[in-house]
Chain A
Amino acid sequence: MKELNLPVHLLIEKYKKGDFLPSQLIESLIKKIKEKDKHINSFIKVFENQAIERAKILDKKIKNKEKTGSLFGVPVAIKDNILVKDAETTCASKILKGYIATYNATVVEKLLLEDAIIIGKTNMDEFGMGSSNEFSSSGPVHNPLKKGYVPGGSSGGSAAAIAAGFATCALGSDTGGSVRQPAAFCGVVGFKPTYGRVSRYGLVAFASSCDQIGPITINVMDSWTIFRIIAGFDEKDKTTFDVPAPEIPEEEIKFRIGFPEKLLEQGVEEEIKARLDEILREFVKSKNYELKNIEMRSFRYAIPVYHIITGAEASSNLARFDGIRYGLRLEGKYLEEVYKKTRGYGFGEEVLRRIIMGGFALRSGYYEEYYIKAQKARSMILEEFMDNFEKVDFIITPTSPFPAFKIGEKVEDPIKLYLSDIFTVSANLSGIPAISIPCGKTGEGLPIGMQIMAKPLDEGRLFKLSLQLEDFIKQRYGN
């Protein structure tokens, strides 16, 4: 079936014209996943029967000419840290093996209300901790665009599933770049909304002050469509905003774009730097926009700040996984031994590293020196963003300083791996929205991602610029 990789609006158009039925599409998709995902490993669980059953219900809606939702028959993959009722949610961790969710996350409810079809749960770095999808109890994910390369992480399964054409859209979670970086590595679009735009109810928490759910899609318009559906106030998540949904402005706006040139002088691969520079200069010229060189001194401190804060939050959030109420339980002579054995065996090495680091930052005697200092530096990062947003409307950087790398290449040196998030973590620390869009490939054929960051709650204008840039890049470099 050729129609497997269509964007949302074209897919729905085909259904409406009667070209095929949702059940036919889902059957073809499942066949494709069965054939090809054994080499990619993007799914932890495929909902074969449930997805076909739901598609057949949707078939009837067409036959009966009933009203249909805006995601009618659209196959969506869900990262395995987002709850789907009656399905196993493992967060790619041994400690949650066998845990069956008793309710739907708010985002899942919203997708189902619009007639989407949940096709399965995608692989990820355990509890969202990682940038390569090598830290998963379900095994590493392979980049569908280049064999033996990582897809990025932590939402690597979601990005790989979209790049491989296993679903039309996917949801990921982004705590430090976990939607944007894998999207960049796999040549698709990944978006992290403003903190508080999308409900986190039903998302297994990693670092609650940075976590945000976002879509991974084949193009910018699909990302907008999904974002508009999942955004909004939720009584079950009191950090969500009760503000109207954003709109893409129709009027012509002369945008001012900030580009931290100095920042790119160190550590960014030459090919990536040159590509971004070329696109931006030509794009602003063609649109008569303004391109300003800005300073972002705080980026240098962002990753250490991020690791102190998210480690501290994770050590607290993950305390609930103790083998008593759900998931894995290892035998022990007394309660404390059960906790220690279960947690020591159930958590993977990267999770243990992070919670140990976070526990240290919160320890009496070190709290001021690490945790409080990091929170002060976080205020500085936010201030620098806000100062810059007085001068420019958007800040553009590469999504990652390097493209996808070989599986195993950086796994032995976690700090090297952490550096892949240098451009993405600041948006989480300051809560601003940011998107990654594809901007061509390296000589080796590896996708390059461009990150666009905007003021808080300015998603409408962010998408306007992203659509223009996507169009410009496609015209220049093709798909």
Chain B
Amino acid sequence: MKLDYKKEIDTLCSLLRIEVQDRLKYVEHLKKMLDWFKVLDEIDLKDYKPFIHSGFHKLLLREDKILQFKEENKIIKNFPEKIDRFLKAFSPIKESKKR
């Protein structure tokens, strides 16, 4: 199936939640990259399993621990918008009315 690159970039921008100014630039880049990736068709990979972990050492699992974080104020300071100590986001009800 022939790939419609322009449409693909539009879909990807929507999925990735990004607004790009010069879509053609990204179309060209995607084309070049996919061409470049064709080199992987040279390899016979049927005997290989997808890489999951290097497996050099066994991972040690632990129980989750709840730690007391004493500096909530510093996190709150990083909020782009806030009301008192609360993060200001968006109201889905108001939004649906706007739409």
Give A contacts to B, CB under 8 Å.
86, 98-100, 102, 194-196, 233, 235, 238-239, 241-243, 300-301, 304-305, 307-308, 315, 319, 322-329, 333-336, 338-341, 343-345, 347, 349, 352-353, 355-357, 359-360, 363, 370, 372-380, 382-383, 414-415, 429-431, 456-457
Contacts and interface: CB of A to CB of B under 8 A. Distances in A.
20 contacts: A99-B78, A102-B78, A194-B56, A301-B43, A305-B40, A324-B80, A325-B79, A325-B87, A326-B80, A335-B89, A335-B90, A340-B13, A344-B18, A352-B20, A355-B16, A356-B16, A357-B30, A363-B11, A375-B52, A429-B51
B49 A344 contact: no
B95 interface: yes
A220 to B, nearest CB: 23
B37 A377 contact: no
Interface in B46-91: 48-52, 54, 56-57, 59-62, 71, 74-75, 77-81, 87, 89-90
B40 A374 contact: yes
Contacts of A340: 13, 17-19
A345 B36 CA distance: 28
Contacts of B89: 324, 335
Contacts, number: 156
B80 A353 contact: no
Given A102-B75, A334-B99, A360-B30, A241 B45 contact: no
A369 B74 CA distance: 44
B47 to A, nearest CB: 9
Interface of B: 8-9, 11-13, 15-21, 25-26, 29-30, 32-33, 36-37, 39-40, 42-43, 45, 48-52, 54, 56-57, 59-62, 71, 74-75, 77-81, 87, 89-90, 92, 95, 98-99
A45 to B, nearest CB: 16
A100 B8 CA distance: 36
Nearest to B65: A235
B62 A235 contact: yes
Contacts of A102: 71, 74-75, 78
A323 B79 CA distance: 9
Given A238-B61, A334-B99, A315 B16 contact: yes
Given A99-B78, A334-B99, A373 B40 contact: yes
A308 B89 CA distance: 33
A195 B51 CA distance: 14
Contact of B51 (A98, A301, A352, A376): A376
Instruction: Identify the interface centre among B13, B32, B80, B90: most chain A CB within 10 Å of its CB.
Output: B80
Contacts of B81: 329
Contacts of B77: 100
B12 A359 contact: yes
Contact of B59 (A239, A376, A382, A457): A239
Contacts of A379: 48-51
B33 A341 contact: no
Contacts of A98: 78
